[in-house]
């Protein structure tokens, strides 16, 4: 077994990834180093009294609880019949494609069924953690809509010449972006002040400069922040440093991906797709290999079964 995980910051192509992970054993060794630093720990009882069993498929036996396990137990790869090589290719493709990749395309690329590819993609999305840190300095706040009734939008967000059923499935998403930094986006039940202001206070340091449009729900921000607005209804989009162009650019990336690649996203899974695009944005300055490495590391302690995915 290798003593140190490959530094994937040097990996900038799928060819280089496949060249390094040329066998299933190399994939397992890499996962073992990333997860346990080469010293296996039982995922059932956390004992380090572990021995490697002989056999084609590498398995371990814990002398604490007497259970057997593999390096995939308790991860996004848990109970999968798909090889780790295919998983690694899928993760690389999802993280490197700026607009994402559809389940139909992934199915063709790694030779699995569309249903299997969809499940793989949903598991991968579980690794895309939203930004945890609080934002400060110059922060832009805005909301967009992925499907829903036009009457639920505030005036300047309404889609021209649409009404009723044509947009009845839209869902509001709140976005908070620190300039030259990260973005945090989350689906919300509505865009009322009592819904979005608490999220703002949770994510943005008090006293920061906050820029929004003139939507009345943002008026309460004056209490905790240096709040300035641009009046989109009056065709004002930039006033010195006051604008929401950065968060609106992120919305463009999100919508191009959803409309162009995924076409339709259910309300139930919308948060996963939003997290996928925030992950790409927040790691935009990293190499493809580094983004792959982060996704694998985040997936080590994640588990999602198909029954949970499709349940209401």
**pLDDT above 60 (res 105):** yes
**pLDDT above 50 (res 86):** yes
Give the total number of structural domains in the chain.
Answer: 2
Whether 206 is in a domain gets the answer yes
Whether 289 is in a domain gets the answer no
Assess whether 277 and 170 both reside in one domain.
yes
Rounded CA separation 308/312 (Å): 8
Assess whether 145 and 260 both reside in one domain.
yes
Whether 115 is in a domain gets the answer no
Assess whether 34 and 146 both reside in one domain.
no
Whether 311 is in a domain gets the answer no
Assess whether 180 and 256 both reside in one domain.
yes
Is 44 in contact with 69 (CB distance < 8 Å)?
yes
Whether 261 is in a domain gets the answer yes
pLDDT value for 163: 47
Assess whether 143 and 43 both reside in one domain.
no
- Among 53-62, 93-102, 275-284, whose mean pLDDT is lowest? 53-62
Q: What is the mean pLDDT of residues 220-228?
A: 95
- Examine the fold and report which residue of 25, 43, 73 is the final residue of a domain before the chain moves on: 73
pLDDT value for 5: 53
Q: What is the pTM of this model?
A: 0.83
Assess whether 272 and 147 both reside in one domain.
yes
For residue 188, the domain's CATH number is 3.30.420.10
**pLDDT above 70 (res 156):** no
Assess whether 60 and 146 both reside in one domain.
no
pLDDT value for 12: 77
- Examine the fold and report which residue of 45, 73, 101 is the final residue of a domain before the chain moves on: 73
Q: What is the mean pLDDT of residues 197-224?
A: 95
Q: What is the mean pLDDT of residues 236-249?
A: 90
Assess whether 146 and 51 both reside in one domain.
no
Whether 233 is in a domain gets the answer yes
Assess whether 261 and 146 both reside in one domain.
yes
Assess whether 272 and 144 both reside in one domain.
yes
pLDDT value for 192: 94
Q: What domain range is 25 assigned to?
A: 13-73
> For 63-82, how does the pLDDT look when each residue is reduced to its tens digit (9 = 90+)?
999 999 999 998 999 988 99
Whether 59 is in a domain gets the answer yes
pLDDT value for 307: 56
- Examine the fold and report which residue of 73, 98, 115 is the final residue of a domain before the chain moves on: 73
What is the C-alpha R_g of the chain?
22
Whether 60 is in a domain gets the answer yes
Assess whether 27 and 147 both reside in one domain.
no
pLDDT value for 200: 96
pLDDT value for 176: 98
pLDDT value for 161: 52
Q: What is the mean pLDDT of residues 168-183?
A: 91
């Amino acid at each position: 077994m290798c003593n140190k995980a490959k530094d994937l910051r040097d990996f900038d192509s799928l060819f280089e990834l496949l060249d390094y992970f040329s066998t299933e054993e190399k994939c397992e060794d890499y996962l073992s180093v990333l997860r346990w630093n080469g010293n296996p720990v039982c995922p059932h009882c956390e004992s380090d009294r572990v021995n490697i069993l002989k056999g084609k498929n590498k398995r371990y036996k814990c002398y604490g609880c007497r259970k057997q396990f593999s390096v995939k137990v308790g991860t996004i790869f848990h109970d999968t019949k798909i090889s780790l090589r295919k998983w690694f290719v899928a993760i690389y493709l999802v993280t490197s494609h700026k607009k994402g990749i559809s389940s139909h395309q992934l199915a063709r690329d790694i030779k699995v069924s569309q249903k299997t590819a969809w499940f793989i993609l949903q598991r991968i999305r579980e690794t895309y953690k939203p930004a945890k840190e609080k934002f400060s300095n110059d922060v832009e706040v805005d909301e967009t809509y992925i499907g829903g009734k036009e009457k639920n939008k505030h005036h300047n967000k309404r889609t021209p010449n649409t009404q009723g059923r044509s947009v009845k499935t839209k869902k509001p998403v709140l976005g908070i972006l620190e300039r030259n930094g990260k973005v945090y986006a989350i689906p919300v039940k509505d865009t009322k002040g009592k819904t979005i202001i608490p999220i703002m206070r949770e994510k943005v340091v008090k006293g920061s400069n906050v820029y929004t449009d003139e939507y009345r729900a943002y008026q309460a921000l004056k209490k905790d922040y240096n709040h300035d607005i641009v009046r989109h209804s009056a065709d004002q989009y930039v006033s010195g440093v006051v604008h929401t162009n950065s968060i609106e650019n992120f919305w463009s990336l999100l919508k191009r991906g959803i409309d162009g690649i995924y076409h339709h996203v259910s309300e139930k899974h919308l948060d996963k797709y939003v997290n996928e695009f925030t992950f790409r944005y927040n790691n935009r300055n990293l190499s493809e290999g580094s983004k792959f490495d982060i996704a694998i590391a985040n997936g080590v302690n994640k588990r999602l079964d198909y029954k949970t995915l499709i349940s209401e």
